[in-house]
Chains A and B, each alone.
Chain A
């Protein structure tokens, strides 16, 4: 069985067991895909980060990214293959950079600046998931709340001397901001072509 067929097969099996209706097969197929996507960044970070840092630092890096991106949105590739390639490259680059970054005022300034950018630009929607006006307001608020919390955690890590953790936590926020850049550029170059 191809990997791409697994979500549909699982949904059909659930319908066969009588726990969902036949009308819900497409919905639960989507749900299976979403669950896979939800954990993929964590799995990818754990794998791609092997040459660079400990398991705990890989987890510290990916948590702010996973949470903030759920509300902030950002660039999405047209195909899964491209998505995985881009994600792998970006993760590797982030790990390489984090390994060679020393916690400093400059780095904290970059993290703070990019966090503000995320707060201003978010949420960024996509063609496959358009947001209503109400959702834009709600997700912007949620995104900012999480940014304040995660900014606080970053400061706490800095102040308590957990400099490696602070750097990796900061890079999680930086990666989120970087993935919004293509969307921001698109907004400037083609205004009015996107919903938000």
Chain B
């Protein structure tokens, strides 16, 4: 039961982070005054 809950949480996190990657790939800039270096794999999230 606990393993299943952890797996559900991990899946939800991965989906949320995937959405964040999609936003980052299709916008210009970080909102903060610091821009982290974008990894090459971010290209696949570009529209």
Chain A residues within 8 Å of B, Cβ to Cβ:
10, 13-14, 17, 19-20, 23-24, 26-28, 30-35, 37-38, 40-41, 65-66, 69-77, 79-80, 82-84, 86-87, 122-129, 131, 135, 139, 143, 179
- In the complex, 26 of the A-B residue pairs with CB atoms within 8 angstroms, ordered by the A residue number, are A13-B10, A17-B7, A17-B10, A19-B11, A19-B14, A23-B41, A26-B39, A28-B21, A30-B38, A30-B39, A31-B21, A35-B17, A37-B31, A69-B29, A70-B28, A74-B33, A76-B29, A76-B30, A80-B34, A83-B33, A84-B32, A122-B28, A124-B29, A126-B35, A129-B29, A129-B38
CB distance from A10 to the nearest CB of B (A): 8
The CA-CA distance from A135 to B29 in the complex, in Å, is: 12
- Determine if A37 and B6 form an interchain contact, defined as CB atoms under 8 angstroms apart: no
By a CB distance below 8 angstroms, the chain B residues around A123 are 28-29
The CA-CA distance from A84 to B16 in the complex, in Å, is: 25
The CA-CA distance from A120 to B15 in the complex, in Å, is: 36
The CA-CA distance from A120 to B25 in the complex, in Å, is: 23
Chain B residues within 8 Å of A, Cβ to Cβ:
6-7, 10-11, 13-14, 16-18, 20-21, 23-24, 27-39, 41-42
The CA-CA distance from A6 to B14 in the complex, in Å, is: 15
Partner of B28, one of A27, A80, A82, A131: A131
CB nearest neighbor in B for A196: B28
Most buried by A among B6, B21, B36: B36
CB distance from A148 to the nearest CB of B (A): 18
The CA-CA distance from A53 to B47 in the complex, in Å, is: 40
A30-B33 CB under 8 A given contacts A70-B27, A72-B28: no
- Determine if B42 and A40 form an interchain contact, defined as CB atoms under 8 angstroms apart: no
CB nearest neighbor in B for A39: B31
- Determine if A37 and B34 form an interchain contact, defined as CB atoms under 8 angstroms apart: yes
By a CB distance below 8 angstroms, the chain B residues around A70 are 23, 27-29, 31
CB distance from B34 to the nearest CB of A (A): 4
